[in-house]
Structure 1
Amino acid sequence: MSTPEPSPRPPKIPESVLVVIHDTAWRVLVMERAANAGFWQSVTGSKDTLGEDPRDTAVREVGEETGIHIGSPAVPDTNLRDWAIRNVYEIYPVWRHRYAPGVTHNTEHVFGLRVPEGTPVVLAPREHTRFEWLPWREAADRCFSPSNAEAILQLPRFFD
């Protein structure tokens, strides 16, 4: 008897989140992508279902990628803020195969997450190889994604 073929993954939903994680000293967490050495970014991720609220996506992705648990005593839910920024950008051709045929653009919801200085980070090794806490302007310069860099540069507007 032969082993059945694994089911193909469903197409990615072209709606995602970008979460700029920062501490009270204006340092921003950036992580290097495992699949693309030299590509640094903030937390990003697509919705799992069409009905998933972007805020829920942000909470899930932060936990998966960094081990930071939003809603814990150290990082209350109120520390996650929807910056009401929506970026619509063209999906890089190299990644379009992950989406349904004909999908060329993604809508990205931008959030900020304030964490205490010294918050531990536990990376998902399949996604990221290393991380750094950088001053916000330096973090923006490090990012490969223009929308990620621009979001980080918005930090002073939302810092409290």
Structure 2
Amino acid sequence: MTGNKLVDNIILILSFLATAACVGVFVYTEVVYQKPLPDGQAELGKLISDNKKMAFPAPFKLDPLIINLNSRKTRLRFLSVEAQLVPFNHDSDDRFETHRSMINDAIINIAGHMTAEELNSISGKILLEERIKKSVNSIVRGQLVKGVLFTKFVIQ
């Protein structure tokens, strides 16, 4: 080691104390200290509350609609659409439900003024979605709609 007997003994004692402390902590955590078992009901409640904070709000399903489209030709064109409104928060279903008929009327009005050629394009569908979001938000008097999901979109 260093050649000085006093310094060597001090280093030896300090090494022994460090080793004893590590062994003591290990023995304490493995043998002496017992973690309390988790309470099942409390953990379940905590898990559910955390899940509600992190989960996306469920979309609000609207009624299926068949809409006459604006057509320049003599042939009539129809749009069969089923849509869902994606809200920003969980508690907006009641407001959508109370204004369901006005929301359906707004969708019919918006889509009825668009042509089939507009709705067949991607930009037309995006425009329809933006107009529906804006109209529904003005009907319910607040920023509740994050997006519109079309689950059925058929033009005949």
Structure 1 and Structure 2 fold alike (TM over 0.5): no
Higher-Rg member (1/2): 2
Q: Which has the higher strand share?
A: 1
Structure with the bigger percentage of helix: 2
TM-score (norm 1): 0.28
If the length of structure 2 is used for normalisation, what is the TM-score?
A: 0.28
